[in-house]
Amino acid sequence: MISDSKHTVLDIEKIRAEFPILHQEVNKRPLAYFDNAASSQKPQVVIDAISNYYSTINSNIHRGVHHLSQLATDAYEQSREKIRKHLNAEKKHEIIFTKGTTDSINLVANGFRQLLQEGDEIIVSAMEHHSNIVPWQLAAKEKGAIIRVIPMNDNAELIFEEYQKLLNEKTKIVAFNHISNALGTINPVKEMIAEAHKYNVPVMVDGAQAIPHTLVDVQDLDADFYCFSSHKVYGPTGIGILYGKEEWLEKLPPYQGGGEMIKEVSFEGTTYAELPHKFEAGTPHIEGGIVLGTAIDYINTIGVENIAAHEHALMEYALEKLGTIEGFNLIGSAKNKAAVISFLIDGIHPYDAGTILDKLGIAVRTGHHCAQPTMSRFNIPGTVRASFAVYNTYEEIDRLHEGLLKVKQMFA
């Protein structure tokens, strides 16, 4: 077995010790958790921060004059600042708290729906999560706009020349993911954005799978919108981020009405609050917003590049090891690929493989990964997916390998 220390500077055992949930047995075997692309586990600092919030400063924000409200508001706004810094956004009010990636995309798609006209075009890619397809379809359908799809090649890479051909004066927005959840492909975001900007077309990047594994600089990418979910980056569920350039956020109409997002309300009309509050109606997920900041601190303490290096080494090891299994088919072999291995084994249904692996204490994802068009592209109903996080080990990959041999033996 290759030892972790050869590949990274991280002490993985020490990191694992910070994740209480990992130290349990599933079906009498130690848990090996490989469903990180769906949701990652939480370190003790994140768990503690949640209970600290409720034990010390809980109260509603942005509205009270009292002490606790001030503390909670400060903590919430400090977290917004941390996230601004992490994404290198220019302005703090360009960071909007949302419920997550899906909510962020819906916010933007809903705004564009109101700007769209019949015959306008929206470009998405062939490797999107349903969350980055359906909101655009809803918007397009209502306004008679058209969805255009960037195709991919057999290695699961978007075909740049085809993308160039799709862009034109009718294009109103381009939306695609930074890293594909079903295939692991890392898309050339910066180049794709630059291409759209030649036509003055804004770009929305779904960064759900990127933020846990890459350092993102929204100004360097020149992204118009960028979003992610906290729960995939070691933070709590129910909270996420939409980054939007100020000029675009100003242009978009509000998403939901309610408290917090208004300046003045009368029955004759209402004026909206300034950014970011215009898009943050109602009492938000206060503790979630604060603790997402804790999670961001956590990955920065370890170093996002260190995390990525460890995961990359794990992926290479896994590809080598699993590649020796007869009938192993990797789905998604892009040159530029992040810590996701989606695969099929000849003659074995993903559900069958996943069920037996679960019996062996190994958690993988099976099915279409909310990316049915991606599966159709490869003519398959679904895959088995193992996705890695900072706490995964080489030993766990050895167990996955053994587990798959067992699966083969049982279904032979």
Partner 1 sequence: MAESIQDIQEEIVDEFGMFDDWMPKYDYLIELGKELPLIDEQYKTEDRLIKGCQSRVWLHAELNDGKVVFTADSDAIITKGIISLLVRVLSNQEPEAIVNADMAFIDEIDLKEHLSPTRANGLVSMIKQMKYYALAFQAKKEQ
Ligand X SMILES: Cc1ncc(COP(=O)(O)O)c(C=O)c1O
User: Interface residues with partner 1 (CB under 8 A)?
Assistant: 27, 349-352, 354-356, 359, 366-368, 381-382, 410-411
Report which secondary-structure segment, H or E, holds 102. helix 101-115
Residue 97 backbone dihedrals phi, psi, to 5 degrees: -80, 130
Among 131, 171, 294, 392, binds ligand X (CB under 6 A): 131
> In this chain, which of 36, 229, 342, 387 binds ligand X, going by CB under 6 A?
229
**If binding is defined by CB under 6 A, does position 98 make contact with ligand X?**
no
Give the residue, chosen from 208, 338, 340, 375, that forms a contact with ligand X under the rule CB under 6 A: 208
**List 370, 372, 373, 380, catalytic entry:** 370
Q: Which does 170 bind (CB under 5 to 8 A by kind): ligand X, partner 1, none?
A: none
Q: How far is the CB of 39 from ligand X (least distance, A)?
A: 8
Span from 69-77, 95-103, 140-148, 187-195 in contact with ligand X (CB under 6 A): 95-103
Task: Answer yes or no whether residue 382 interacts with ligand X by CB under 6 A.
Answer: no
Binding to ligand X (CB under 6 A) within 301-340 occurs at none
Q: Which residue in 283, 274, 349 sits closest to 76, CA to CA? A: 283
CB 310 within 8 A of CB 390: yes
- Residue 225 phi/psi, 5-degree rounding, is -140, 145
The smaller minimum CB distance to ligand X, of residues 181 and 393, is found at: 181
As measured in angstroms, the least distance from the Cβ of 128 to partner 1 is 17
Q: In whole angstroms, what is the distance from residue 231 CA to residue 212 CA?
A: 10
Q: How many residues are present in the chain?
A: 412
Contact 368, 237 (CB under 8 A): no
- Write out the two tokens for 178: 């930074």
367 binds, among ligand X, partner 1, none (CB under 5 to 8 A by kind): partner 1
- By beta-carbon proximity to partner 1, the closer residue of 315 and 344 is 344
Closer to partner 1 at the Cβ: 16 or 359?
359
User: Which residues, other chains included, contact 369 with Cβ-Cβ below 8 Å and sequence gap of 6+?
Assistant: 37, 129, 181, 182, 342, 375, 382, 383, 385
By the rule CB under 6 A, 289 interacts with ligand X: no
> Is 227 part of the annotated catalytic residue set?
no
Q: Is residue 129 a contact point for ligand X (CB under 6 A)?
A: yes
- Shortest gap between Cβ of 385 and partner 1 (angstroms)? 13
Q: Out of 41, 42, 49, 100, name the contact with ligand X by CB under 6 A.
A: 100
Identify whether the C-beta of residue 299 lies closer than 8 Å to the C-beta of residue 389.
Answer: no
Q: Interface with ligand X by CB under 6 A: which range of 129-137, 146-154, 189-197, 393-401?
A: 129-137
CA separation for the pair 174, 164 (Å, rounded): 12
- The residues, ordered by sequence, that sit 6+ positions from 180 with a Cβ below 8 Å of its Cβ are 127, 156, 187, 209, 332, 340, 371, 374
Q: Are 145 and 175 in contact (CB under 8 A)?
A: no
If binding means CB under 6 A, how many residues of this protein chain bind ligand X?
A: 15
What are the beta bridge partners of residue 121?
146, 171
Q: Which is nearer to partner 1, 109 or 356 (CB)?
A: 356
**Binding partner at 131 among ligand X, partner 1, none, C-beta below 5 to 8 Å by kind:** ligand X
Q: Using CA atoms, how far apart are residues 105 and 139, in angstroms rounded to an integer?
A: 11
Stretch that binds ligand X, among 21-29, 201-209, 320-328, 346-354 (CB under 6 A): 201-209
Distance between CA 277 and CA 409 in Å, rounded? 57
- 100 touches which of partner 1, ligand X, none (CB within 5 to 8 A by kind)? ligand X
Of 304, 287, 258, the C-alpha closest to 61 is 287
Active site residues: 370
Binding-site ranges for ligand X (CB under 6 A): 37-38, 100-102, 129, 131-132, 177, 181, 206, 208-209, 229, 370
